[in-house]
């Protein structure tokens, strides 16, 4: 009786706690990329739940059927050879599950890495998203504006993020719009997202990057194209220009609030792509390597003479 009461208490406690929880952001998608990933997660959960239920059912069956019983002291259990059917099931089902999940994963990977489905005829909005300790910088080349620690995007239009870092490797992640992707100092990675529903979303760095990592977050606001255009016009009328000196100040380690500027840092500090790629972006090592290369060249010339 006490065991039954304890079990009912645990069930009631779990139900109460779970009822007060907000839905997981990854399972509350607001864009096509996130919706695809959410469906894959639910498929994986369904398969794993089925496996767990079957295994525990078999365990209960075996414990009951083959539990200890009163046998004579000289009782010897019958010798049983391996069962081919059982062994085939034990090996075959996991193989089938792995094949199914592999096919789903490969197909989904191609889908989320491409322009969002249903947006093929629309020109993407390109945004350069760069991180520094511990903040995010968003450059809008088309609009010629830049924001820090917040992001405004139009709905029903594909967004093409160009990711890189002015410090350690970070990971750009907006859970309700899609999966995470790394931002590195010497190259640009591309992430395709889209927002179907206007609203406020949370974005963050999902990769540990030092003591300020926990607060390395940013706000995302999805709005109609009309409201987005109005916001851009307002920024151009009210915001101050972003200078090289101001940008260097923003790159200093620490936390900042939200800020907005006209112009982008891409004019004087280009992203590490094309001819600017692979030059130790965001560090002072480039000067040291250049000096070392010059000394090496001089030594080679002297040796040749």
Residues 175, 182: Cα–Cα separation, whole Å:
14
Best CA proximity match to 240, nearest among 147, 107, 155: 147
Q: How many CB atoms lie within 10 A of CB 220?
A: 20
Kind and range of the H or E run holding 30: none
| Residue for token pair 């851009």 | 232
In terms of Cα–Cα distance, which of 155, 130, 150, 153 is closest to 142? Answer: 153
pLDDT tens digit string along 268-304? Answer: 999 998 777 765 554 444 444 344 434 444 443 344 4
Task: Give yes or no for residue 126 having a pLDDT over 70.
Answer: yes
pLDDT top residue among 201 and 213? 201
Average pLDDT taken over every residue of the chain:
85
Min mean pLDDT across 35-39, 211-215, 224-228, 234-238 is at 211-215
The domains of the chain, with CATH numbers, are 125-271 (2.60.40.420)
Quote the DSSP letter at residue 15. Answer: H
Using CA atoms, how far apart are residues 127 and 95, in angstroms rounded to an integer?
Answer: 42
pTM of structure: 0.77
Write out pLDDT tens, residues 203-224: 999 999 888 888 899 999 999 9
CA distance 284 to 250: 17
């Amino acid at each position: 009786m006490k065991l039954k009461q304890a079990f009912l208490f645990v069930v009631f406690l779990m139900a109460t706690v779970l009822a007060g929880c907000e839905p997981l952001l990854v399972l509350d998608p607001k864009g096509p990329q996130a919706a695809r990933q959410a469906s894959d997660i639910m498929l994986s959960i369904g398969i794993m739940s089925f496996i767990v239920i079957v295994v525990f059912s078999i365990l209960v069956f075996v414990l009951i059927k083959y539990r200890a019983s009163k046998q004579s002291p000289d009782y010897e259990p019958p010798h049983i050879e391996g069962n081919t059917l059982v062994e085939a099931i034990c090996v075959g089902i996991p193989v089938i599950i792995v094949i199914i999940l592999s096919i789903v994963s490969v197909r989904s990977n191609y889908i989320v890495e491409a322009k969002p489905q249903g947006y093929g005829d629309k020109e993407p909005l390109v945004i350069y998203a760069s991180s520094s300790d511990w903040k995010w910088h968003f450059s809008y080349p088309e609009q010629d504006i830049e924001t820090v620690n917040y992001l405004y995007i139009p709905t029903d239009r594909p967004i093409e993020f160009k990711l890189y870092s002015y410090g350690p490797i970070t990971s750009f992640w907006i859970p309700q719009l899609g999966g995470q992707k790394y931002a590195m100092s010497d190259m640009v990675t591309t992430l395709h997202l889209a927002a179907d529903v206007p609203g406020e979303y949370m974005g963050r760095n999902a990769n540990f990057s030092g003591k300020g990592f926990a607060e390395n977050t940013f706000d995302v606001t999805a709005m109609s194209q009309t409201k987005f255009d109005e916001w851009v016009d307002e920024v151009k009328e009210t915001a101050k220009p972003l200078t090289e000196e101001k940008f260097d100040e923003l790159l200093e380690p620490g936390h900042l609030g939200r800020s907005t500027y006209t112009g982008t840092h891409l004019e004087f500090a280009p992203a590490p792509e094309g001819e600017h790629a692979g030059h130790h972006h965001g560090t002072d090592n480039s000067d040291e390597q250049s000096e070392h290369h010059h000394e090496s060249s001089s030594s080679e010339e002297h040796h040749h003479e």
